[in-house]
Amino acid sequence: MRTHKVLSRSVGVVLLVVGVIVFAAQFDLAEATVGQPAQDEFVPLDSVPPEDQLPAAPLLVAAYALLWIAVVGYLWSIWRRMVAVERDLSDLAGRTGES
């Protein structure tokens, strides 16, 4: 049961991370294609034009955001585990005091 919970959480986190990366990487590209006039011929080009190249800023922001998510998530997990252990300790201390 615990394994299942851990696995489902891990899958959730991985999906979230992938989603954020894909979203951040595609955002500017999607915006650039909206509102262009219809083409009636193709003009060949030897290299990818600068405006079609992958933008760096969303990648940079995504990298820093993922870092922060990891740090905050980990601190939160330590806090949760600490609260659970402290609760068990006080329960046990109460029981040993009674006996």
User: Please, which of residues 40-79 interact with other proteins by CB under 8 A?
Assistant: 54, 56-57, 59-60, 62-64, 66-67, 70-71, 74-75, 78
Q: Is 2 helix (H, G, I), strand (E, B) or coil?
A: helix
Least separation in angstroms between CB 56 and other proteins: 4
Least separation in angstroms between CB 24 and other proteins: 8
Residues 6+ apart with CB under 8 A from 13: 73
Q: Residue 35 and residue 55: Cα distance in Å, rounded?
A: 19
Determine the number of helices (DSSP H) and then strands (DSSP E) in the chain. Answer: 2, 0
User: Which of residues 36 and 99 has its CB atom nearest to other proteins in the complex?
Assistant: 99
The answer to whether residue 89 forms part of the interface with other proteins (CB under 8 A) is yes
Least separation in angstroms between CB 30 and other proteins: 16
